[in-house]
Amino acid sequence: MFHIFSEDRIKNAVITDVYFERTIKIIKEKGLDKVVAAEVRARELPSDYRWAILGGIEEALTLLEGLPVNVWAMPEGTLFHAMEPVLLIEGKYSDFAAYETCLLGFLCQASGIATRAARCKLASGGKPVYHFGARRMHPGITLMIDRSSYIGGCDGVAVKESARFLEEEPVGTIPHSLVLLAGDTLKSIKLFDEVIEPQVKRVALIDTLGDEKFEALRVADELGRKLFAVRIDTPASRRGDILAILKEIRWELDLRGFNHVKLFVSGGLNEKKIRQLNQVADAFGVGTWISNAPVVDFALDIVEIDKKPVAKKGKHSGKKQVWRCPACGAGRILPWSEDIPSCECGEKMVPLLKLMIREGKLVNPFPSVKKIRDFVLSQLKKLEKSEVEDWL
């Protein structure tokens, strides 16, 4: 029905670039099928990001599980930098060569999405950021996009089935269509209040017909304490100075004792706009900017053949470990055999690449998405304030 490949075909590496199949045929026939070590890393990150969040590891390990290989990888959610190997495979080349296409696909896109989500969460100063971007991408990958946005730091997603998978409540307000069908902003939220379960927050959409300020006051007057928030999704053609509009709404609501009513902004948001609106907005709905995030351009390259270091031009040979200082966050990339280094700050560094698959068997069960998200948020906390400043 739809243009997506089945999980079986992905798991069995049927989805692969043809030159891998031809290479396997050649090396088998010509006795070149050697034991190699191959690493995955990104030479640079999108849009000059200084760091990125590693996503797609659970799917990557699920893909490689059962193959006669050993795999080391950074845990999903790890904050990493360009040039740092995030995954290392060791085994006979023909046993995993055909899996490169899907392996990189899992890591490249999920890491791009998780990183954009983390940047938006950082820009919001901890305020809620919800992912509303499923409608911008092929539904065959909605779950991956929502999961990656959640582990990247988003507080929730709009798609019910994804929220169920994440064991979270789906997040939704009112679409413009309901306001148009009701013929009035106030009527739309009153109908919502009459029909929808009381535990669902009452968020009125106030930009469809009238002026946002006056619509906000009308719904606040009517619903009072029952009104949780108003959503502003003003189309670009009318958006003007949205910060000034938000400040005006905030002033008028507070003047009349509606301090409890929160301001929820969506439509065309990115980390810069979130950073600017953060002084008055209480929550953000982000779509395209997260779901259509640029991929992290990972590549997989051989770095050892028969335990001897060898690599293509432009690449350092030999297996490497990535070390991070748990105190100051400094990082080092060292040859695999090197001892535990000490950081200039005196702290002993910790290795980021952990053994995940030993001879095809998963070493540990996968962590929950909540655990991965908490891990990401804990790393974002350590980032210098300066990290966000230069986004303005």
Residues that bind ligand PCP (CB under 6 A): 132-133, 136, 175-177, 233, 266-269, 285-289
Q: How far is the CB of 281 from ligand PCP (least distance, A)?
A: 14
Distances (CA, A) of 5 to 12, 56, 159: 11, 18, 22
The CA distance from 129 to 107, in Å, is 23
Q: Which residue is nearest to ligand PCP (CB)?
A: 287
CB atoms within 10 A of CB 220: 23
Q: How far is the CB of 33 from ligand PCP (least distance, A)?
A: 47
> 173, 208 in Cβ contact below 8 A?
no
Q: How far is the CB of 142 from ligand PCP (least distance, A)?
A: 14
235 token code pair = 């189309």
Query: Which residue, 100 or 233, has its beta carbon nearer to ligand PCP?
Result: 233
> 151, 162 in Cβ contact below 8 A?
no
Write out the DSSP string of 165-192. Answer: HTTS-------HHHHHHHTSHHHHHHHH
Q: How far is the CB of 365 from ligand PCP (least distance, A)?
A: 35
Query: Which residue, 237 or 386, has its beta carbon nearer to ligand PCP?
Result: 237
Q: How far is the CB of 159 from ligand PCP (least distance, A)?
A: 12
Query: Which residue, 268 or 329, has its beta carbon nearer to ligand PCP?
Result: 268
Q: Which residue has the tokens 């030999």?
A: 318
Query: Which residue, 154 or 343, has its beta carbon nearer to ligand PCP?
Result: 154
What residues contact 60, with CB distance under 8 A and at least 6 apart?
73, 87, 103, 106, 107
Query: Which residue, 91 or 287, has its beta carbon nearer to ligand PCP?
Result: 287
Distances (CA, A) of 107 to 52, 76, 117, 144: 12, 10, 15, 11
The CA distance from 153 to 155, in Å, is 6
104 token code pair = 């990189």
Query: Which residue, 158 or 356, has its beta carbon nearer to ligand PCP?
Result: 158
Q: How far is the CB of 353 from ligand PCP (least distance, A)?
A: 35
Query: Which residue, 175 or 335, has its beta carbon nearer to ligand PCP?
Result: 175
Q: How far is the CB of 29 from ligand PCP (least distance, A)?
A: 51
